[in-house]
Amino acid sequence: MNPIILEVRGLKKHYGVKGRAASGAGAVRAVDGVTFSISRGETLALVGESGCGKSTVGKAILRLFDITEGEVLLDGERIDEMTSRELRPLRRKIQVVFQDPFSSLNPRMRVREILAEPIRNFGLAKSEAEIDARIAALLDKVRLPRDAAGRWPHEFSGGQRQRIGIARALAAEPELIICDEAVSALDVSVKAQIVNLLQDLQKELGLALLFISHDLAIVEHIAHRVAVMYLGRIVELAGKRALFAGPQHPYTEALLSAAPAPDPTVTSKRILLQGDVPSPLNPPSGCHFHTRCPYVFDRCRRDDPALHEVEPAHYAACHLRETPRQ
Ligand code: SF4
């Protein structure tokens, strides 16, 4: 097992609404006690429906805001408490690739300037010649022609722009890349190319990836482990094979049953979830999933199930799974 690069412990991000404090009743619990770690060279996927808090987790790790509670450790150092000045040398280690390759690149900067910016900001080159050499190497890495450096973002397709976004992330020589729905806006064939590129780069550079996505087919392809989020909490966390072959939480079961089958000749029972995701402003009592769970029973409305190990390295938060299997 590779050393851990990122640890998130009991992370909470609550927002106050309509002038109320970000605590107690009236707070939106966007993230409500999330714990996981990522090792070097590993891809952890964070999945769930829109609004489940997965992107907020990514933003909290990037320190785009202060968290409400919990700890975020990078290489064993707490970064959630650091000032901007203390954080500056560490920012290089965590980079991000955003969903929209059209809005995430500055249209007024040529590709050379887009890639030179992190190299300069983090003091990774001593001269313009060295910057040019690094940019050429980055374009090679993401399989774009070197003359792309002299062109503008609007001259590229969506997939090519996402390659530029990945090159910009790599320019900082990161150890962890947060891919926030990084392939969601792309066509199916382009998605596969970008996912393959990320996997190749991971092998070559030993990168850790936090892959935030609602697309289970892509997650099954790229992830080593998967964390499923519902209403600000992780409800299941397991190795990819174990999770896809034998989901232990009813929500994961429903998500998987709704995903298109890789083999259209194989029919499986689709579990239809009733209703919408409840508001994180007023989550249901007990198990947050009880208003939509097909297996709900009395205790679910009263007691909040904790995430616990139901099989080796396979965790689920469901009362039905509380007796470890023999
Ligand atoms: Fe469903 Fe109850 Fe399990 Fe929650 S605890 S997922 S409501 S069976």
Q: Which two tokens stand for residue 225?
A: 């482990």
Which residue among 318, 321, 323 is best mutated to probe the pocket of ligand 1, counting the most ligand atoms within 8 A of its Cβ? 318
Q: Is 271 touching ligand 1 by the criterion CB < 6 Å?
A: no
**Amino acid 325: pLDDT:** 45
212 C-alpha to ligand 1 centroid (Å): 24
Statement: residue 164 has pLDDT above 80? yes
Q: Is 305 touching ligand 1 by the criterion CB < 6 Å?
A: yes
Q: Is 316 touching ligand 1 by the criterion CB < 6 Å?
A: no
- In this predicted structure, which of 16-25, 136-145, 155-164, 211-220 has the lowest mean pLDDT? 16-25
Q: Is 321 touching ligand 1 by the criterion CB < 6 Å?
A: no
* Encoded amino acid at 61, one letter: I
- The dihedral formed by the CA atoms of 82, 88, 89 and 91, expressed in degrees to the nearest 10: 90
Statement: residue 102 has pLDDT above 60? yes
Residue listed under structure tokens 């320019």: 171
Statement: residue 141 has pLDDT above 50? yes
What pLDDT band is residue 87 in, cutting at 50, 70 and 90?
A: very high
Gyration radius (Cα) of the chain, Å: 21
Q: Which two tokens stand for residue 23?
A: 């605590």
Statement: residue 262 has pLDDT above 70? no
261 C-alpha to ligand 1 centroid (Å): 25
Q: Is 153 touching ligand 1 by the criterion CB < 6 Å?
A: no
Closest ligand 1 atom number to CA of residue 305:
5
Parallel, antiparallel, or unpaired: how do β-strands 4-16 and 69-74 relate? Answer: antiparallel
Statement: residue 264 has pLDDT above 60? no
Closest ligand 1 atom number to CA of residue 294:
1
The arithmetic mean of pLDDT across residues 83-112, rounded, is 91
**Amino acid 25: pLDDT:** 65
The arithmetic mean of pLDDT across residues 284-290, rounded, is 95
**Amino acid 326: pLDDT:** 42
The arithmetic mean of pLDDT across residues 57-78, rounded, is 95
Q: From CA 100, how far away is CA 186, in angstroms rounded? A: 9
Closest ligand 1 atom number to CA of residue 287:
4
Domains, the chain? 4-321 (3.40.50.300)
Statement: residue 291 has pLDDT above 90? yes
Q: pTM higher than 0.95, yes or no? A: no
Closest ligand 1 atom number to CA of residue 297:
2
Q: Is 320 touching ligand 1 by the criterion CB < 6 Å?
A: yes
Q: From CA 140, how far away is CA 167, in angstroms rounded? A: 9
* Cβ proximity of 129 and 107 under 8 Å: no
Q: For residue 87, which of 56, 69, 104, 64 has the smallest C-alpha distance?
A: 64
Q: From CA 34, how far away is CA 247, in angstroms rounded? A: 19
Question: Which residue spans within the chain are E strands per DSSP?
Answer: 4-16, 27-39, 43-47, 69-74, 77-78, 94-97, 176-180, 208-213, 225-230, 233-239, 308-311, 314-316
**Amino acid 94: pLDDT:** 97
Strand partners, 27: 16
* Encoded amino acid at 5, one letter: I
- In this predicted structure, which of 30-34, 44-48, 182-186, 240-244 has the lowest mean pLDDT? 182-186
What pLDDT band is residue 245 in, cutting at 50, 70 and 90?
A: very high
Tell me the pLDDT tens digit for each residue of 10-53.
Answer: 999 998 876 666 666 678 999 999 999 999 999 999 999 988 99
Statement: residue 263 has pLDDT above 60? no
Which residue among 230, 274, 293 is best mutated to probe the pocket of ligand 1, counting the most ligand atoms within 8 A of its Cβ? 293
